[in-house]
Structure formats: C-alpha cells, structure tokens
C-alpha cells in the first residue's frame, strides 16, 4: 500500500514504487545499457509493476488500463502515464475514489506526468465517441491489473463503435493527419524533425493502425513496423539526452550522440564535409560507385548523417504508406455514400493501362514480365491523369518487371520523359515506384541519392526529392526551350553525383556519360546533358557572385555554355533548381540578374559585341552633377521588397564602409553596391532588401550617414552591440574560419570573401579595405545558407590593379583580421 510519505513506497509484493516510477523520468541513470525495444520493454515492465502494486486488489468491478503509447508498450523516458481506472459503477471492496487516490498521488509525488480518468464502460465509450484523441488511445488499451472481463467489454465496445462509425471518424482522422503535416512539416525533410508529430512520424504510424482497426485496410506491414521501431529507438535516446523532458524533436546538436547510442557509424572510407558533399576518401572509389552510407553496426565514428538518412527513409516509408492506404480507404468510403453500378468502369489510358475507381491499374491482358516499358507507360498515364498508381499494379510491377534493356527502347524513354513532363503530378507517382524498389531498378544510379539528407537550412529536401522537385519545376518551362526532353532529364540528373566520392559535379558528369547512352540518347544529346550537369551552377554563381556588367563575366558565361541552346537550357534549369531548393534560393531579384546575364551572353553567342555600359551611365553622370553636398535617394526596384539606395557625397576615405554600416544599422540587407566618382564627388548605389515590406526612410539614412562621416555615430560599436545581443550558436555546424582569395580570371581584380553571416560583415570588410588604401568599385553580396559569399571588385586609389604577393597578403590579412570576431577559428587565407 502507499504509505502517504511522498516517497511512493509500496511494500506489497516487495515492489519499490518510487524506484519504479523514478525510472520513467530518466533522471536516475535508469537502464544505462538498454536501448531500443529492450529499453521500452524494461520501462513498461517497471511501470506496470509499480502500478499493479498501487492498484492492489480492490475486488471485482475495477480495472486499471494503459492507453495510448504506454498502452502499446512504447514508453520513453519522460513519458506521461496515460491511464484509465475503469469501474462498473457499483461499490466494491474499496470505493473507486480511494483506489484512484492511491494510484494518482504517488505518481504525482514521483514527478511523473499523468493523464488519467475514472470511467465506467459507458462513460469511456461516450467520451471516445466525441473525442478523437480518447478514441485513438482506447484502441490501444491494455489491461494492467484488475477485472479482465470488464476491460475486455470496454475494448470490444470501443472497437465495434470505431468500425461502425468509420465513415464519419476516419475523415476526421485524415484531417488531423493533414493538419499535423501543415503545422509540423515532414520527418524526411526537416533538419530537426518532430519524430512524433511531423508527417511520416509516430502519429502517422498510429493512424495506420487505426485504419486497420476499422477493418478498412490491412494492418501495417513489416516495412512500416520497422520504420516505426526505428523512430521509437531515436525518440528513446532523444528523451534520454533531454533528461526525461517531454521532447520528441531530434535537435541537430544531439545527432552525433544519438547516432553513437544506436550504432549509426560512418564507413572508415567515407568522410563528409560540412555541406555534406562527399570528400575523396583515402582509397577513392570509382565515379559511378555510390559511397556506402553508415548504418548500425558499421565501423567508424558515430555519424549523425547516417542517422538522418535512416530517419528520412523511415519517414518516407510511413508517409507513403499513409497516402496510398488513405487514398483507397477514402475512395471506398465515398463509394458507400452513393449508388454505383455492379461492375466497375475501366477506362483505357494507354496500351495495357486502365483507370478504375480513381487509380491506375493494369489491363487484364497486360504482362509486365514481357513488357519492360509497361511500368513507365502506366506511370506516365497516372501522372497525366493526376491519379495514383494502384497499389495492386505497383506491387505487381515490383514482382514482375524485368530490367530495362540497354539501350532503352525509344518508347521507354518517351514514356519516362512524358512522366517527368507531368510536373507536380509526377512526384507522387515516382515516389510510389521508389518505395517498392522500381526506381532504382530503372535507374540504378538513383540508389546513391535516395533519402540522402543535405543537412543545411538552404536545402528543403533530401537529394532525391530535390531532383524530383527540380524536374517538376522544369516541366513549367518545356515550352520555352527547343529540347524539353533534355531540360527534364537534365533537371532530374543535375545533382545525381551527390552521394558519390569527390566533387558532385565531376561525379555527375561521369555518371551521365554512361547513363545517357543507356537511355538511348544519341552522342550529341549526351553532350548537352553533360554540359547541363557540368554547368548547372554557372548562372547562379556568375549572377550572384560576380558583376554582370563586367565584360569578362559575360564572355566567360558565353564561352562555358558554348551554344545558345545549352545556355537557354541552363537558364531554365537554374530557375527550376533554385525553386526546388528552398524559400531563399529564388527571388525576383535573382531572376532579374540571371535574365540580364543570359540576355547579354546570348548576344555574344549570336556574334554581337559584348554588352558594356561604360564607365558611367548618363544617369550616373547626371547624379554626380547635382549641387547637393550630401544626398540620399530611395528608389523602388521592380523586384518585390527591393530598393535602390543612392548616396551622393564628397569623396571620403571610408565612405562605402560607413554607408554599408548605416544600411546595416537600419536593418537593410545589401545585395549589391557600387561606387563611382568624378571631380572629388562619390556616387554610391546599393540594391537592398527591406525588412517587413517597409520602404527605407531616406531622411533617416541621410542623418545617420552624416553623423557617421562626422564621427558622431559609432557605426562599428553599434553593430557589434547588436551582434552580441542577437548572437546564437549554430548547433548543426561549427562555424568555419573566414576565407579571402583573389580571382584573376576576369578583366578586373576580384577579392572573394567567405564568412559566417553576421550583422555588419560587409561593413567590416569594406572598412578593412579602406584602411589599407584599397578602393571598392563594386561589392556583390550573396548569402548561401549560413554564410556570406561576397565578391569585391577592387583597385588601387590611382585605378591600378591590386597586384604583388606582398600587397595582396596585406589586403587579405586586413580583411581576415576584421572578421576574426565573427569566427571561433583563426582566420585563414
């Protein structure tokens, strides 16, 4: 019995209740050697024993039930005990209130979370009828102690009512699933997934069990159960690290610790860089041979990347199974609510392919075993119609489809291109092929990128899903190019080298060299695909890291593309790739820069002169002739949220540094800045992104600029104070040392600086250059994830290039010293 001392001691049966409950909190070093299923079993057994001791023997007509995750035997450290004290409404050997107090108070005293209720069978059923959470919990009810017949009556009644009310309850369940997905994102694609609530998480696995309990779907198969166990294992270690706090999100800083606990280790030959591009191992594999991911039991160091890969794969398995199962269930529910003919209507879609009840099936005489192209015809038909491949058809394809001939028949390639051309509708169809192993059978190279995380906030998706999304976005531009088939294939394959040793672009070129002929493409088309892979970063790099007014930039882009056809394909590939990457990867500003660059490069490829605006435009000359001593203008740009800031002032050492610092203090993100001068006057033009849609205040900028130039505004000090106030550690990656390098590939001297993105980075760089007497003609600012990649077109005060090893070392040392406060590591040139 409970002794009332607050210690929660149960002396009956020799069970130490306090110790049993304390184990659940994860704060007493409980079960240090157990992980995964053995840990869950031990926690369940310990809790059950403590609760049985507290329940005692109140006589017939009372039962203690575990519901929800505890009912399923899936507790983790910090788990709340979800309990129902069931009674028959009669007065037994002990009043039910006394029994309840004897259970609830020791649990509270032990600091264990408790979700409890005291119900009769009728009350519990009534609550479940109106509360989805209660209904789902009771579907997994498990008797801990007490009246078995009473508990069985409750569980049988709840399940019977769940089946009887399926037409109403299951759409409600599906809406909860959709709402969670909108709110919590997707396990497979999040840097810090909520293992329970995110799409593809543990809640969705529970929802699949609920569909099965309604007798409208089969019970989850072994792949789903294995995925669920994997997520439960990870959640268990997340809770251990959180010291029993109610936490289900895998934080990035905990990834290595969880990987170590669960045995996810990197292969000795595999080393990953910060941006997760595979580096060359000591004994390099041949391009086209995928780098093997770490997995439980593999040798090497604990690898959070291998863990993330396994989580992504598990999440995709669960979410795809939900999608395909719910599609069939919802179709069945709809058919129950309306009259239908006795025989289903089968509508032909393609040779051997029909549509029936809103999904694609095989015709009766279709034979996948003798027609390897059939799977692609069916997939293309499904995507065109915007309906899924039927599960029976998918499973049959998986069993019977033979390897694709080498080279592919024209019909197979045409069907594959037609599938990609369906855009967004192609993604779920390709996901279905992938989930049953068909996609890697059709394209073996896909195995290396499958579920491969990108592990940075810049990318929204895993590598394989990014490629599917890029192809879907490219489908929007098939009418803008002369070879839409190559655009779609290039979008699908542009990052296929990720997951292979070495630079992913170089690896991708080798893969496409082999894959193109296997697809049945002629040599000229293979060359175009190789060029698209080789140069898929050409346009964004040139437009955002270099001056597109520089003739050398324009000529370099034209020379790299080699033809107007390739350049046009690269243009649309760039847009598709960026849109598929993430919210920050594409904007109207970036689109305009790339459009202008492509227009100028096409002029060169057409045999015309290199477009060059000259030293000063007519507008710049007019501004320099204005009588105002100091002037600040704010002009809207055609890109949403972007403004041009024009500054006119007497030429002054450090003017650009002060101006960029003032812009930063006014929370304006500088994307591009240029400085021109004539007759002792300086003209600065900066393209900036405003915050929260507010137009910059020209009068305030002018006042701050004057105070900064006169020394009455400590620009550097205020930026440093803001940085200190808002500084946060980035747990997913140790900030690297800033780097400064010279690029002499163009007609002017370019200093490229890479550094962690911090407030006032541009101000510090430009200020350092001013201190060593270097003029900045143009500054181009790009933010890639958590870093800035800035390019500075610089010259000596007399207009000469910055040359000489000693002089360049002086420049880079000054810049790196100014940025040293932004890094945890010593600067490196």
DSSP 383-408: HHHT-PBPHHHHHHHHHHPPPPPSSP
**pLDDT value of position 617:** 80
**pLDDT value of position 669:** 85
Q: How far apart are CA 84 and CA 56, in angstroms?
A: 15
- Listed residue (68, 73, 79, 84) closest to 116, CA to CA: 84
DSSP label at residue 602: H
Q: For the chain, list the domains and their CATH numbers.
A: 12-164 (3.30.460.10), 170-256+307-331 (1.20.120), 630-822 (no CATH)
**pLDDT value of position 33:** 87
Q: H-helix or E-strand containing 642?
A: strand 642-650
In the predicted model, residues of the chain with pLDDT beneath 70 are 1-15, 26-29, 91-93, 244, 267-301, 336-343, 612-614, 692-693, 725-736, 783-786, 821-829
Around 291, how many Cα atoms within 13 Å sit in the side-chain half-sphere? 32
DSSP 97-164: HHHHHHHHHHHHHTT--EEEEEE-HHHHHHHHHH-HHHHHHHHT-EEEEE-HHHHHHHHHHHHHHHHH
C-alpha torsion sign, points 118, 120, 123, 128: positive
Model pTM score: 0.86
**pLDDT value of position 261:** 93
Give the strand order in the sheet containing 62-66. 114-119, 81-87, 62-66, 142-146
**pLDDT value of position 573:** 98
- Listed residue (130, 119, 49) closest to 86, CA to CA: 119
User: What pLDDT, in 10s, does the model give residues 643-668?
Assistant: 999 999 888 777 888 888 899 899 88
Who contacts 826 (Cβ-Cβ below 8 Å, separation ≥6)? 737, 820
Who contacts 252 (Cβ-Cβ below 8 Å, separation ≥6)? 191, 192, 304, 731, 732
Who contacts 419 (Cβ-Cβ below 8 Å, separation ≥6)? 376, 379, 380, 383, 426, 429, 430
**pLDDT value of position 272:** 39
User: What pLDDT, in 10s, does the model give residues 753-770?
Assistant: 998 877 778 888 999 999
User: What pLDDT, in 10s, does the model give residues 51-67?
Assistant: 999 998 888 999 999 99
CB 49 within 8 A of CB 15: yes
CB 263 within 8 A of CB 297: yes
**pLDDT value of position 585:** 85
């Amino acid at each position: 019995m409970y002794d009332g001392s607050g210690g929660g001691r149960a002396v009956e049966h020799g069970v130490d209740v306090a110790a049993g409950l304390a184990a659940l909190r994860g704060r007493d070093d409980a079960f240090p050697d157990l992980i995964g299923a053995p840990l869950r079993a031990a926690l369940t057994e310990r809790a059950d024993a403590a609760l049985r001791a507290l329940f005692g023997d109140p006589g017939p007509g009372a039962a203690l039930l575990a519901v929800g995750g505890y009912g399923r035997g899936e507790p983790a450290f910090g788990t709340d005990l979800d309990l129902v004290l069931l009674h028959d409404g009669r007065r037994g050997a002990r009043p039910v209130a006394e029994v309840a107090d004897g259970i609830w108070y020791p649990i509270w005293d032990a600091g264990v979370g408790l979700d409890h209720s005291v119900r009769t069978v009728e009350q519990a059923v009534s609550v479940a009828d109106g509360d989805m959470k209660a209904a789902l919990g009771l579907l997994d009810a498990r008797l801990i102690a007490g009246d078995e017949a009473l508990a069985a009556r409750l569980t049988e009644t709840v399940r019977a009512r769940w089946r009887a009310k399926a037409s109403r309850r299951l759409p409600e369940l599906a809406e909860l699933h959709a709402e969670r997905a909108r709110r919590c994102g997707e396990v497979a694609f999040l840097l810090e997934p909520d293992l329970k609530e995110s799409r593809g998480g543990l809640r969705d696995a529970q929802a699949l069990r609920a569909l099965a309990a309604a007798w409208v779907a089969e019970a989850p198969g072994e792949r789903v159960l294995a995925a669920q166990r994997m997520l439960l294992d990870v959640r268990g270690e997340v809770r251990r690290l959180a010291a029993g706090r109610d936490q289900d999100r895998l934080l990035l800083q905990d990834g290595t610790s969880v990987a170590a606990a669960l045995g996810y280790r990197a292969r000795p030959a595999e080393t990953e860089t910060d941006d997760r591009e595979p580096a060359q191992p000591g004994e390099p594999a041949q391009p086209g041979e995928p780098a093997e991911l770490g997995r439980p039991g593999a040798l090497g160091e604990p690898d959070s990347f291998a863990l993330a890969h396994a989580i992504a794969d598990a999440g995709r398995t669960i979410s795809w199974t939900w999608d395909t199962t719910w599609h069939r269930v919802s179709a069945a529910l709809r058919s129950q609510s309306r009259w239908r003919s006795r025989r289903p209507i089968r509508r032909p879609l393609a040779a051997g392919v029909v549509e029936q009840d809103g999904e694609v099936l095989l015709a009766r005489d279709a034979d996948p075993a003798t027609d390897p192209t059939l799977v692609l015809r069916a997939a293309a038909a499904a995507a065109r119609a915007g309906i899924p491949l039927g599960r029976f058809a998918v499973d049959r394809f998986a069993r019977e489809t033979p390897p694709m001939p080498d080279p592919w028949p024209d019909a197979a390639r045409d069907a594959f291109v037609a599938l990609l051309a369906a855009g967004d509708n192609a993604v779920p169809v390709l996901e279905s092929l992938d989930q049953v192993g068909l996609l890697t059978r059709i394209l073996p190279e896909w195995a290396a990128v499958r579920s491969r995380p990108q592990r940075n906030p810049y990318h929204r998706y895993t590598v394989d899903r990014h490629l599917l999304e890029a192809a879907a976005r490219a489908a929007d531009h098939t009418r803008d190019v002369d070879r839409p088939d190559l655009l779609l294939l290039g979008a699908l394959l542009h990052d296929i080298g990720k997951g292979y040793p070495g630079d992913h672009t170089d690896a991708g070129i080798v893969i496409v060299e082999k894959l193109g002929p296997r697809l049945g493409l002629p040599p000229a088309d293979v060359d175009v695909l190789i060029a698209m892979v080789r140069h898929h970063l050409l346009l964004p790099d040139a437009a955002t890291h270099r001056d597109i007014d520089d003739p050398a930039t324009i000529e370099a882009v034209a020379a790299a593309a080699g033809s107007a056809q390739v350049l046009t394909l690269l243009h649309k590939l760039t847009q598709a790739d960026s849109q598929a990457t993430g919210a920050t990867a594409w904007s109207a500003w970036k689109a305009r820069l790339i459009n202008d660059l492509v227009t100028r490069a096409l002029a060169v490829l057409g045999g015309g002169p290199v477009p060059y605006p000259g030293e000063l435009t007519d507008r710049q000359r007019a501004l320099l002739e204005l009588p105002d001593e100091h002037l600040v203008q704010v002009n809207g740009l055609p890109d949403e949220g972007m403004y041009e800031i024009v500054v006119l002032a007497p030429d002054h050492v450090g003017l650009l540094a002060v101006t960029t610092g003032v812009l930063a203090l006014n929370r304006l993100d500088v994307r591009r800045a240029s400085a021109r001068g004539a007759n002792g006057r300086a003209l600065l033009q900066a393209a900036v992104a405003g915050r929260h849609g507010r137009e910059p205040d020209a009068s305030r900028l002018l006042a701050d600029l004057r105070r900064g130039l006169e020394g009455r505004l400590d620009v550097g000090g205020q930026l440093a104070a803001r940085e200190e106030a808002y500084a946060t550690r980035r747990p997913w990656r140790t900030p690297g040392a800033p780097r400064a390098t010279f690029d002499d590939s163009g007609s002017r001297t370019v200093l490229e600086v890479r550094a962690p993105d911090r407030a006032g980075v541009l101000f510090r760089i430009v200020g350092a250059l001013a201190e060593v007497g270097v003029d900045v003609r143009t500054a181009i600012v790009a933010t890639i994830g958590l870093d800035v990649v800035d390019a500075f077109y610089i010259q000596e005060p007399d207009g000469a290039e910055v040359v000489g090893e000693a002089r360049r070392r002086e420049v880079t040392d000054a810049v790196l010293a100014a940025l040293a406060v932004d890094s945890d590591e010593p600067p490196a040139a």
